[in-house]
Amino acid sequence: MLKFFTYFACFSILTSFFFGFFAVPVFAAPSITGVSGSFVHGQTATISGSDFGTKSQAFPVVWDDCQGDDPLDLWDRIYNRDSGTDYILDYRTPSEVGRGVSTAHNNATKYMAGCFYPGGTPYLGSNVGVWKERSGVTGTNYMYISWYERLDPSWSWNLGTIADNNYKIVRLAYGDGENAIFYFENNTGGSYAFSNGFHITDFVTGNGRYYGYPVIDFRNRWIKFELEAKIDNSGYVKVWANGIMAMDYSDDFLYSEDTMNYIIMLGSYARDSGADTQWKYYNDIYLDYTLQRVIIGNAPSLSECTTFREIQIPLSWSDNSITVTANEGSASHGTAYLYVFDETGTANEEGYPITIGNSDITPPASPSGLIVS
């Protein structure tokens, strides 16, 4: 009997050590307890709470509100660089483009716009987009990007020699940019794009899949996209369009360690190029190599935030405090709800109510001590 208890005690100690040493950390969801400052566009606000995690670089890799002078101040390459000044992807006012397309919201006076013209080669306009080279980044396999995008009202889906409406939205590649990791795209055929939903092509495994996202005519409205990706042999891509999950794809995205130094291409090839009607437009591009972020939404539940989901720009970040520059974007003034995402992409379950567009961002409290006679 003594020998049994000795063996049992040893086994208990060893198993406790093993599971204690190799235990997977459990992250509690972020919790917001208060907000101070001002959620007026361009002003700062500080969020207090717990379990935000730490973020070594608070500011994102790119925050491009498209109000600058030269996209190359923030990006490494413009795809249609040889299209000429009239058509190259650049920051432009609606009046400079002259095609009756307004910016994504009233807090922007410019957008980034370019045309798939004259076409024929990638740098002459068969490809339109911007590049960011991810090199020398260690400790993270993740990427998050948020942006507004739309096409010209006169865009034609009938110019290509192959009637598949091939239109690349996001492309990841490595090496010289020609070695693709995956495409997030439209490639459906039909009378106009997105008639069958979005599509992903995984070049590591050769797999692909369609997603039947509700049809949106890309020519008549802005779409707010968000994309999360994990680039390794247990990777995934998730896409939200106007707050609705439009893609949730898991697969192997790792060719080799070289793929960790990849190129992010926002925009790329379009089959229907070669006419001066083929303009595309961007606003408010946010890129980071972590899933940690702050957004404001229109509803107390994140899944119901389909009217607006606006990214906020972090200036400092600790486990219990985040300071952001307020980005109202398309949000309406009044009550909105605040969400903080940790390093696993988990957000607080219930949105924290704030008031945006006013100097006092605390929602009004119920009156107390009121006597009605």
Q: Summarize pLDDT for 273-323 with one digit per residue, the tens.
A: 999 999 999 999 999 999 999 999 999 999 999 999 999 999 999 999 999
- pLDDT on residue 8: 42
- pLDDT on residue 294: 99
- End-to-end, the C-alpha distance of the chain in Å comes to 82
Does pLDDT of 3 surpass 70?
no
User: Quick one: average pLDDT of 107-128?
Assistant: 96
d(CA 111, CA 104): 8
Please state which of the four CATH numbers 3.20.19.10, 2.60.120.200, 2.60.40.10, 3.40.50.1460 is assigned to the domain occupying 61-291.
2.60.120.200
Average pLDDT value for the chain: 86
Confidence bin at 130 (pLDDT 50/70/90): very high
- pLDDT on residue 359: 56
Confidence bin at 196 (pLDDT 50/70/90): low
Comparing C-alpha atoms, which of 266, 271, 325, 261 is closest to residue 296?
Answer: 325
Does pLDDT of 2 surpass 50?
no
In CATH, what is the architecture of 29-55+292-363? Sandwich (2.60)
- pLDDT on residue 18: 44
Q: Hey, is 20 helix, strand or coil? A: helix
- Measured at the alpha carbon of residue 24, what is the angle toward residues 22 and 25, in degrees to the nearest 5? 125
Does pLDDT of 23 surpass 90?
no
Ranges in the chain annotated CATH 2.60.120.200: 61-291
Confidence bin at 173 (pLDDT 50/70/90): confident
pLDDT in tens, 240-272: 999 999 899 998 876 556 556 788 999 999 999
Confidence bin at 188 (pLDDT 50/70/90): low
Does pLDDT of 366 surpass 70?
no
Strands (E), 94-194: 111-115, 130-133, 142-151, 167-174, 179-186
User: Quick one: average pLDDT of 337-352?
Assistant: 97
- pLDDT on residue 258: 57
Q: Which of 46-50, 149-153, 171-175, 220-224 comes out lowest in average pLDDT? A: 171-175
Write down the pTM of the prediction.
0.87
Comparing C-alpha atoms, which of 107, 63, 110 is closest to residue 90?
Answer: 110
Supply the DSSP string of 225-278, one letter for each residue: EEEEEE-STTEEEEEEETTEEEEEEEE---SSGGGGSEEEEES-BBSS-SSTT-
- pLDDT on residue 372: 38
Does pLDDT of 175 surpass 90?
no
Q: Which of 2-6, 113-117, 146-150, 181-185 comes out lowest in average pLDDT? A: 2-6
Ranges in the chain annotated CATH 2.60.40.10: 29-55+292-363
